[in-house]
A and B are shown apart, each in its own frame.
Chain A
Amino acid sequence: MASSLTLRAGLLSLLIFAAFIGAWQWATLPTAGVAGNVDPEYAALVSGAAAQGAKSAFPTPADVAATLWGHLKDPFYVRGANDQGVGIQLAYSLGRVIVGYLLAAAVAIPLGFLIGMSPLTYRALDPFIQILKPISPLAWMPLALYTIKDSGISAIFVIFICSLWPMLINTAFGVASVRKEWLNVAATLEVGAFRKAFLVILPAAAPTIMTGMRISIGIAWLVIVAAEMLVGGTGIGYFVWNEWNNLSIGNIITAILLIGLVGMALDLALARAARLVAYRE
């Protein structure tokens, strides 16, 4: 039965979560006896308590929960350039991702449409796409910083570049592989080019295009963290890097958790949108 399967899966998830927390708790138990084994240089870096061996340097689940609660209670505070709430940092990152992603969609979908409609351009542009696609978006960063000079816009450019390819390739593929019968229907009805593009080809290719958009948003969210670590200033990537410099593991874990949650939310939103344009043959 489906409902009992859902129930059992939920129980298993809880069990796995509990086991994970348990293992984490166990691993971070105070290790009183091994004080002498701590590397003094490391001890100087981390807190005094850890150095004395009374407490592990790695936060316990309870520590992280407290940190997380602290952040969630007041996510939007601003105390100077280097101390802003995690909500604000996430908003910066999201803003960059959305701007870069929308710019990429605005270029990739019309361009992919044209490429998909014309076998000539499909073939002519294919080598360029194949070479540009596997380049790590971060490799563009120096070039972007050199030409654009502004670090925020450079990050947006990197998002643009990495979101472009999946949308471009999927749009071109979806448009090129619209069923011949549907095009024949449009042809025998003497449907004009615009009506054909918007009422036949676009809906037919929409599920494939949406798949590309979903892949792109996933990649963009992966890349933004790395990009912000490089350019600094604001954003959740910068936050993680900054907390690493502060050696605040609790904050880093909190940020990691939030990055995962936001990524999941983005993916879910696009999955929803994909369901709107899906059709059954």
Chain B
Amino acid sequence: MTEKPLISIEALARRYPKRGGGETTVFEDLWLPIQKGEFVCLIGHSGCGKTTILNVLAGLDQPSSGSVIVDGREISGPSLDRAVIFQGHSLLPWMTVLGNIAFAVSSRRPEWSRETVRAHCQRYVDLVHLSGSEHKKPSELSGGMKQRVGIARALAIEPKMLLMDEPFSALDALTRGSLQEEARRICRETGQTVFMITHDIDEAMLLADRIVLMTNGPQAEIVENPLPRDRLAASMHRHADYYPLRNHLLEFLVTRSKSFASEIEGRPYDPRKPAVVRPCAVAEDKVPAAASV
């Protein structure tokens, strides 16, 4: 992966002023490149700063130091190049499904005629299987349908990158499963670059090419997904690499995330090149730390 990344997070830090003086550091010295067409998942315990990172990537929040480089340029604010799917669906409740998507599309393409916008929106409504509900208001939709509108709205502006903050966490398991499959299909078909936050290991295993494990400290570990690219939720657990990967992730979140700081103590740790791991069924499963990226 020597190709120039689409997005490069460089020495990013975010601190909040503490009440009564001083500062709390949410994260610091975070480095992460994201290649074009890559699906990256960020997993971490709640409160470790995932949403904060995403807001910085979206341009809604400013980092305390460090920068985010997109296409060779440092970002300075929100952009249509980076579409966001928010944790709550955040549809505008006074607009219909089509209206919400059209609002986004006509923001992206102010020169388009009403009919062009409409036809374009309809394509994305069909893509997320919402045909027939175009003229419903968000309050008339189920949670899963609202989330689909959010996905359609984000995809319809044809962004360079999709940022998702726990997009499926508020849904029931069945809806979540089918939406995950759909998200995977759409992202693969369109070659979309995605940065997604989740706290669901199975979701990350299904969707991500790379999984960033975040600790409450500044450190992180990157896990490459060894599962075949055409994996399906229903059958991926039969793959030989499934359990090694799953156990690795689980172990990190349950135990190693707390002891990670002492684990890497004494060893040279370069935050620019966090350890990259590829858990596989074969014994020789670890790529030497800091080998790639």
Spell out A's residues near B (CB within 8 Å). Answer: 181-182, 184-185, 187-191, 195, 199-200, 203-204, 206, 277, 279-281
For the residues of A in contact with B, the DSSP-based class is helix
| A-binding segment of B100-108, B111-119, B188-196, B197-205 | B100-108
Binary A-proximity of B160-181 (CB < 8 A = 1, otherwise 0): 0000000000000000000000
**C-alpha spacing A277/B94, complex, angstroms:** 8
A181 close to B86 (CB less than 8 A):
yes
Task: Tell which of A182, A190, A203, A280 touches B90, judged by Cβ atoms closer than 8 Å.
Answer: A182
B58 within 8 A of A: yes
Specify which chain A residues have a CB less than 8 angstroms from the CB of B250 in the assembled complex: none
* CB atoms of A191 and B137 under 8 A apart: no
User: Does the CB pair B137–A188 fall under 8 Å?
Assistant: no
Contact of B59 among A185, A188, A199 (CB under 8 A): A188
A190 touches B78 (CB 8 A): yes
Q: Decide yes or no: A189 and B107 within 8 Å by CB, A184-B84, A280-B137, A280-B139 being known contacts.
A: yes
Sort A-B residue pairs by CB-CB distance and give the 8 closest, nearest first.
Answer: A280-B139, A181-B90, A279-B94, A189-B107, A187-B78, A188-B78, A203-B94, A279-B93
B interface SS class = loop
Q: Of the candidates A188, A195, A281, which one forms a contact with B83 in the assembled complex, judged by CB atoms under 8 Å apart?
A: A188
CA distance A187 to B76 in the complex (A): 12
Q: Determine if B79 and A185 form an interchain contact, defined as CB atoms under 8 angstroms apart.
A: no
Is B139 a contact partner of A281 (Cβ separation < 8 A)?
yes
Give the docked Cα–Cα distance between A206 and B5 (Å): 44
Instruction: Please name all residues of chain A whose beta carbon is closer than 8 Å to the beta carbon of B137 when the two chains form the complex.
Output: 279-280
Q: Tell me if A189 and B108 are in contact (CB < 8 A).
A: yes
Beta-carbon contact of B84 and A188 below 8 Å: yes
B92 and A190 within 8 A (CB)? no
Please determine whether A190 and B80 come into contact, CB atoms closer than 8 angstroms.
yes
Chain A residue contacts of B139, Cβ below 8 A: 279-281
- A200 and B84 contacting across the interface, CB-CB below 8 Å: no
**7 A-B pairs, CB-CB below 8 angstroms?**
A181-B86, A190-B78, A190-B79, A195-B107, A203-B92, A277-B94, A280-B93
Query: CB-nearest residue of chain A relative to B94?
Result: A279
Q: Are A189 and B90 in contact (CB under 8 A)?
A: no
Cα of A189 to Cα of B78 in the assembled complex, Å? 8
For B106, the closest partner residue in chain A by CB is A195
Q: How far is the CB of A197 from chain B (nearest CB, A)?
A: 14
